[in-house]
Amino acid sequence: MDITADEARGRSRGVQETQSRWAGLGSVMQYVLLLLTALVFIVPLFWMATASLKGLQEIYTFPPVWVPTQPKWENYPKAWNAAPFTRFYINTLITTFFGVGLEIVNAALTAYALVFLRFPGKNLIFIVLLAALMIPVQVTILPNYLTIAALGWLNTYQGIILPGASVAFTAFLLRQHFLTLPTALLEAARLEGAGHLQLLWRIVLPLSRPVLVTGILISVVAKWNDFLWPLIVTNRLNMRVLPIGLSYLFDREGNNQWGIIMAATIFVVMPIVILFIWAQRHIISGLIAGATKG
């Protein structure tokens, strides 16, 4: 906060001769703060990356080694084999892919129906959809575990995927966007005999690309990182997903092979890091969508 004040002070003294000195000092301060901020956020990630290449001697030494002298690339294959990470990766890819797919299909169909189809009491249905936002998954883990157990779906992909396959928020985002689309275009296609699925697929979705991409990205991030539900609904090692597999490597009692743990951490976060670098703007706009539209 001080910074704006300082900077603005610098500006408002435009007529005074001290102006340049103040502005200079203010902006130096700002750069110092900017650098500090960058360090606070970069250093832990840098620490993770360099530690993934450290051997035991370089881990267990103080003061710590910042950059390993002989990078131990073998930490990566070691980490991969320290737990069945191939299996964890496959499991996470499957649950993420189908979880996201079902969520987006549900969101698109629901939003389309709510905007373009007639039904008595449509508003009530919309409210029922929104009310689901008030029930977070953490609150329902116990009864949902019982349901999945009763269905015989513990330690199965459908057990991990289906409870998270319904969607309220993305359906809401899509609905808001669909409302802005020109109906005339749809009417015309309708008169030429196109069915609703065709309208959705050929006209509505292509016109909603940015919202759709945002919804997909948010969903991918959430499913990839999901921890609590997969932890509860699986207990066999070969059905675990990446974040849980990762937690197996950490020994709270100490004597941790940090080099290997950090290497494992890196291949868990890497796909999301790449996604972020590639589609940063979409992800951010989606995550703050609720804020700016409120």
Partner 1 sequence: MSVTAKRTARNGKAGIGGKGRLHRDHLIFLAFVAPNFLLLGLFTYWPMVYQSYLSLTRWDLISPTKQFVGLENYVVLFGGQEFQRVLFNTFYFTGTVLLGSIVLGLGLAVLLNQRLRGRNIVRSVVFAPVILSGAAIGLVWAYIFDPTYGLMRVLLGAIGLSSPSWLTDTKWAMPAIIIVYLWKNLGYSAIVYLAGLQNIPQDLYEAARVDGATPWQSFRNVTLPQLSPTTFFIVVTTILGSFQAFDIIAVMTKGGPVNATTTMVWYLYEEGFVAFRAGRAAAAAMILFVLMLAVTLVQVRYLQRRVHYS
Residues from 181 through 200 that contact partner 1 (CB under 8 A): 183, 186-187, 190, 196, 199
Calpha distance 165→239 (Å, rounded): 18
| Binding test (CB under 8 A) with partner 1, winner from 72, 79, 99, 169 | 169
Closest CA to 159 of 112, 205, 106, 94: 94
Within 71-100, which residues bind partner 1 (CB under 8 A)?
none
Q: Tokens for 175? A: 């609905």
User: Interface with partner 1 by CB under 8 A: which range of 17-25, 76-84, 116-124, 206-214?
Assistant: 116-124
Binding mask 132-161 for partner 1 (x = CB under 8 A): xxxxx-xxxxxxxxxx--------------
| Binding test (CB under 8 A) with partner 1, winner from 59, 83, 174, 212 | 59
* CB nearer partner 1, residue 237 or residue 273: 273
Q: Applying CB under 8 A, what is the total number of residues that bind partner 1?
A: 124
Q: Work out whether 31 is an interface residue with partner 1 (CB under 8 A).
A: yes
Contacts for 283 with CB less than 8 Å, ≥ 6 apart: 214, 217, 218, 221, 275, 276
Calpha distance 262→267 (Å, rounded): 9
Q: Tokens for 86? A: 């191939």
Within 226-265, which residues bind partner 1 (CB under 8 A)?
227-228, 231-232, 242-244, 246-247, 249-250, 252, 256, 258, 261-262, 265
Q: Tokens for 238? A: 């070969």
C-alpha 228: how far from its chain's center?
A: 15
